[in-house]
Structure 1
Amino acid sequence: AEIVKDSEALATIGIEPTRPETGYGYIQIDRSQPQIRENVFPVKTFAEKPNPQTAKLFLESGEFFWNSGMFIWRADSIMRHIHDNLPDWYSGLQNIRVALDTDKEKEVAQRVFHSNKGISIDYGVMENAQDVIIIKGNFGWSDVGSWDEVWRVRDHDAQGNALEGEAITVDASDNLILAKDKMIAVLGLSKLAVVETDDVILICPLAEAQRVRDIVVALEKKNQLKYL
């Protein structure tokens, strides 16, 4: 917080990558500009979730951090950027400010949020701003947004399996098995996600867990929306 207190910079926390992860966004530091201070760098660009080959290049370059989605800024600084980049949202936020602590507060807030296009702060502001800095986060961090990440953060048995519910493995290793109502038995398989819900069982390689969205698309095409 100290570094942005006396400046208009927008700061984001970056996590030094430990593997070529395809499930996270990345932030590239700008080596053409001087380092601001220890563990603080100017930002060159934001990058979307990469394919495996690009993720490997990101890791090898030493210029990319994982985008943690954590930000630090002064209120007046972020409002200036919202004004410049998201004028409709800025106008709506001003309407909310006027309505605060009145009987219209909830009504105005709902109207503003329903009438404006949903957009993340990354897309709407950070990728367009010129005065963005990144602070290296020196702490453990994980974005538990995919089954392979769930496997990483869970406790494992001696064979590397992360188990929940009624599950048994034989000659199986490094699997994520989440059983709900049924006994799930896995024999001779490795590095799979087996996840039981009320009406669906998902089975996929952990390395391809990010492709679960492809199943969502397939279900939508088949009009099987009840499973989503």
Structure 2
Amino acid sequence: MEYKMSEVLYQKIREDLKAKITQGFYSQGSKLPSETKLQAYYQVSRVTLRNAVDGLVKEGFIERVQGKGSFIRKPHKVNRLIRESSVESFTKVAHANGLEPSFEILKIDQVNCPKQFQGKIGKSIMLYIQRLCKVDGDPIMWENNYYVLPRFEQLSNYNLEGSIYSILQKHFGIKNLYSDDTTLSMSPSNLKNSKILNRTIGFPLFKLETIVRDENKDIVHAGIHYIVSDRYQFKI
């Protein structure tokens, strides 16, 4: 019980500090008050305070400089231009913003087609590839893609810690990809995606649902992606 209370407390402190940063109370480039002052202000232990600050360091709001202290920084956002029917890989978008992407494979399996896509794909078995997409080590997108079988059955044999679209073009003969029936909405983070994306419960996420087709209008995959709003923005 004591551990859970401490965990909830540092999350509240993290959110309060984050609000002060985003609202300009602590300006970009300024130095965060010392641990002693923050401990006194929040009336918490050093461990609890450090856990809160560590979370903001991971999210890119605070930067620690050895021997000098902690400073407020503005996270570099990934900008993605939304054009009609456009499809761009996470790798391409990150590189276009001067950032280095990386990927963590969370799950590969064969599953039933999600209900929201069955109207176009049917109740078929699909290759499910779940990845965590990162920028400079910070989780940005929880990617859930469902590939059509048996066409892409061998996709799981390739190295998927990079651009999957490049693999599709190089090894599966796909020339062009375009999106169909794409929906972008906001979704508060729940317990599951909070743990995956390293954000607090209730944190605002983009939810992107789409169906991707090839140049012959054949479905390649369906996707459900959860994207952090503090490091990613869409331009229409």
**TM-score normalised by structure 1 residue count:** 0.20
**Greater share of residues in strand:** 2
User: Which is greater in Rg?
Assistant: 1
| TM-score of the two chains, using structure 2 as the length reference | 0.20
